[in-house]
């Protein structure tokens, strides 16, 4: 990652807004990190935020008085709120509670922080923080989408343990991740560019492991890099992302909820459960087609004099086909995207899989090409989707499919292109 000074954070005037969430304690560290990176920082707190952290703490960390009231006679003598609004290069609200998001989404200006947000032409960024049920509520999704349309850039939220005892999406990103997003905007969506805000995206990634005995298993060369890049891209575009991951050595992307599984059966169960309330399901995992009919209870030993070993394998369930089939017979959700790793006849196999498994879109990779595919940092793809599923114009194909070839490029860039293509194909959003 580039240093803050190299990416323009040094000298940036950041107005840090703090609303009434338990995550307000993280704002002290965030203010400290911003100052260390060379930014000028001024803090505005809502009345509720002061129940979680004191203005004196933030004043000590920033070296600037903390503003807490819209009707401060001393400040308002010089139109203090307008002065602050003009001073800021960036307004960063962290944490942004569900209440604050709702008020900003409807244009309310009933305290100093919301007034500044409406009165300023600065870059506007927020890090949501709330209970997982509140984040998943349709009203919050609508508010997030409207804020994105109004030019707000949403960072997170992350997933994990919450102060209330729940587990799920809603945690404010860690201060280090927020700073990284500010100094490296390629990690997140640009201002006003959160087309996936309010959507729930479920992605499978990595290999599965099918045990033969307590120490051996069947698996493949998948590193999980492509699936993790897709999860990061979807989160950067504002989606709530659930990542069902086989065993890999990759860190969970910021703002993504990860569910770790081992076998194809475990991934199948998790995929069916999470797909039920998803808007977009992407099957990127390299799932083992077969498993041992019966895994040995103890380590299988070599038998002297025998030159071979016979194992009986049985088919694993087809995860992506199951999700697509249950979608067709159920609620109509989600939009289903599959992956195909092939070594020959790429387009023919991709078209067959798209049709046979009743997918909406497929991303096909030629894993035989040197430097691409499994374990590599770069990849290329042929993307095919059903004509009529997309919202923009395309050159038609004679068999009812449209397609796009994506040249070799870093998996992070390829993932962003795939996510944007899938979003363009989604049915019209219900949000106003």
Give the architecture (CATH level 2) of 200-298+309-425.
3-Layer(aba) Sandwich (3.40)
| pLDDT above 90 as % of the chain | 47
Q: How confident is the model over 15-49, as pLDDT tens digits?
A: 999 999 899 999 999 999 999 888 899 999 999 99
- List CB contacts of 380: < 8 A, sequence separation 6 or more: 365, 366, 369, 372, 405, 406, 407, 408, 409, 414
pLDDT at position 307, please? 83
Residue among 308, 256, 266, 259 nearest 287 (CA): 266
Q: What are the catalytic residues?
A: 164
Phi, psi of 38 (to 5 degrees): 100, 5
Structure tokens at 52: 């979680």
Q: How confident is the model at residue 184 (pLDDT cuts 50, 70, 90)?
A: low
Annotated binding-site residues for CTP read: 283-285, 289, 299, 317-320, 339, 353, 357
pLDDT at position 264, please? 96
> Who wins on pLDDT, 185 or 274?
274
Residue among 233, 2, 17 nearest 124 (CA): 17
Distance CA 303, CA 163 (A): 56
The dihedral through the CA atoms of 165, 134, 31, 187 has a sign that is: positive
Give the architecture (CATH level 2) of 4-187.
3-Layer(aba) Sandwich (3.40)
pLDDT at position 107, please? 92
Residue span(s) of the chain under CATH 3.40.50.1950 come to: 4-187
Residue span(s) of the chain under CATH 3.40.50.10300 come to: 200-298+309-425
> Who wins on pLDDT, 166 or 139?
139
At residue 378, does pLDDT exceed 70? Answer: yes
């Amino acid at each position: 990652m580039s240093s803050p000074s190299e990416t323009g954070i040094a000298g940036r005037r950041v107005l840090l807004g703090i609303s009434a969430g338990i995550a307000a304690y993280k704002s002290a560290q965030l203010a400290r990190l911003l100052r260390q990176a060379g930014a000028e920082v001024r803090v505005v707190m809502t009345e509720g935020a002061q129940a979680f952290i004191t203005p004196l703490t933030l004043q000590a960390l920033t070296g600037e008085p903390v503003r807490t009231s819209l009707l401060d006679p001393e400040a308002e003598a010089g139109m203090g709120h307008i002065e602050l609004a003009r001073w800021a290069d960036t307004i960063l609200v962290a944490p942004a509670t569900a209440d604050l998001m709702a008020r900003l989404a409807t244009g309310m200006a009933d305290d100093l922080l919301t007034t500044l947000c409406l009165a300023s032409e600065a870059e506007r960024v927020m890090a949501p923080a709330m209970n997982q049920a509140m984040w998943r509520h349709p009203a919050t999704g609508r508010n997030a989408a409207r804020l994105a349309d109004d030019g707000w850039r949403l960072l997170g939220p992350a997933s994990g343990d919450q102060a209330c005892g729940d587990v799920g999406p809603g945690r404010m990103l860690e201060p280090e991740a927020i700073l990284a997003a500010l100094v490296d905007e390629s990690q997140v969506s640009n201002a006003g560019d959160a087309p996936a805000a309010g959507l729930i995206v479920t992605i499978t990634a990595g290999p599965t492991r099918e045990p033969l005995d307590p120490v051996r298993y069947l698996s493949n060369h998948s590193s999980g890099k492509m699936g993790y890049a897709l999860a990061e891209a979807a989160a950067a575009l504002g989606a709530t992302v659930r990542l069902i991951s086989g065993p890999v050595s990759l860190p969970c992307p910021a703002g993504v909820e990860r569910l770790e599984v081992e076998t194809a059966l475990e991934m199948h169960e998790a995929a069916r459960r999470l797909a039920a309330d998803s808007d977009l399901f992407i099957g990127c995992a390299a799932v083992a087609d077969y498993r041992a009919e019966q895994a040995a209870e103890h380590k299988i030993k070599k038998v002297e004099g025998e030159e071979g070993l016979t194992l009986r394998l049985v088919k694993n369930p087809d995860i992506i086909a199951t999700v697509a089939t249950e979608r067709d017979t159920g609620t109509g959700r989600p939009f289903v995207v599959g992956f195909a790793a092939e070594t020959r006849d790429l387009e023919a196999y991709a078209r067959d899989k798209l049709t046979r498994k009743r997918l909406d879109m497929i991303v096909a990779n030629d894993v035989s090409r040197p430097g691409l595919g499994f374990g590599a940092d770069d990849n290329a793809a042929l993307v095919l989707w059903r004509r009529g599923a997309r919202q923009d114009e395309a050159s038609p194909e004679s068999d009812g499919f449209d397609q796009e070839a994506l040249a070799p490029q870093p998996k992070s860039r390829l993932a962003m292109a795939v996510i944007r293509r899938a979003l363009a194909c989604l049915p019209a959003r219900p949000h106003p």
